[in-house]
Chains A and B, each alone.
Chain A
Amino acid sequence: MSTASAPLLSVERLTMRFGGLLAIDDMSLDVAARQITGVIGPNGAGKTTFFNCLTGFYKPTEGSVRLNHPQRGLMRLETLPSHEVAHKAQVVRTFQNIRLFPKMTVLENLMVAQHNALQHASRFSLAGLFGLASYRRAEKKAIAKAIGWLKRLELIDKANTAAGDLPYGMQRRIEIARALCVDPLLLCLDEPAAGLNPRESAELNDLLKHLARDEGIAILLIEHDMSVVMNVSDHICVLNYGRKIAEGTPTHIQQDANVIKAYLGEDDADEELHAEAKP
Chain B
Amino acid sequence: MALALQQLINGLTLGAVYGLIAIGYTMVYGIIGMINFAHGDIYMVSAFIAVTVFTILATFGVSSVPLALLLVLIVAVLFTSVYGWAVERIAYRPLRGATRLAPLISAIGMSIFLQNMVQLTQGARVKPIPPVLVGGIDLLTVDGFTVRLAYTQILIVLVTVALMSGFTYLITKTSFGRQQRSCEQDRTMTALLGINVDRTISLTFMLGAALAAVAGVMVTVYYGVVDFYIGFVAGIKAFTAAVLGGIGSLPGAMLGGLLIGLIEAFWAAYLSAEYKDVATFSILILVLMFRPSGLLGRPEVEKV
Contact = CB atoms under 8 A, between A and B. Distances in A.
Direct contact of A and B (CB under 8 A): yes
A95 B301 contact: no
A48 B304 CA distance: 9
A57 B302 contact: yes
6 contacts: A18-B301, A48-B304, A52-B304, A57-B302, A57-B304, A58-B304
Interface residues of B, number: 3
Nearest to A93: B304
A85 B35 CA distance: 33
Nearest to B301: A18
Contacts, number: 7
A48 to B, nearest CB: 7
A52 B302 CA distance: 11
Interface in B279-304: 301-302, 304
Interface of B: 301-302, 304
Contacts of B301: 18
A196 B302 CA distance: 27
A163 to B, nearest CB: 16
Contacts of B302: 57
Nearest to A82: B304
A248 to B, nearest CB: 29
Nearest to A49: B304
Contacts of A52: 304
Contacts of A48: 304
Interface of A: 18, 48, 52, 57-58, 95
A18 B302 CA distance: 12
A54 to B, nearest CB: 12
A1 to B, nearest CB: 29
A95 B304 CA distance: 8
A48 B302 CA distance: 13
A131 B304 CA distance: 37
A279 B191 CA distance: 46
A232 B304 CA distance: 26
Nearest to A190: B304
Contacts of A18: 301
Nearest to B299: A19
A95 B301 CA distance: 17
A58 B301 CA distance: 9
Nearest to A96: B304
A52 B304 CA distance: 8
Nearest to A103: B99
A58 B299 CA distance: 14
Nearest to A95: B304
B87 to A, nearest CB: 29
Contacts of B304: 48, 52, 57-58, 95
A18 B298 CA distance: 12
A57 B304 CA distance: 8
A58 B302 CA distance: 9
The 5 A-B pairs at the shortest CB distance, nearest first, are namely A57-B304, A52-B304, A18-B301, A57-B302, A95-B304
B121 to A, nearest CB: 41
B223 to A, nearest CB: 44
B99 to A, nearest CB: 10
A50 to B, nearest CB: 12
Nearest to A52: B304
A104 B302 CA distance: 24
A270 B301 CA distance: 38
A58 B304 CA distance: 9
Contacts of A95: 304
Nearest to A99: B304
A94 to B, nearest CB: 12
A57 B302 CA distance: 8
A279 B302 CA distance: 44
A190 B286 CA distance: 37
A182 B302 CA distance: 23
Nearest to B302: A57
B62 to A, nearest CB: 55
A15 B301 CA distance: 17
Contacts of A58: 304
B300 to A, nearest CB: 12
A52 B301 CA distance: 12
Contacts of A57: 302, 304
A231 B31 CA distance: 45
B301 to A, nearest CB: 6
B68 to A, nearest CB: 51
A48 B301 CA distance: 14
A222 B141 CA distance: 74
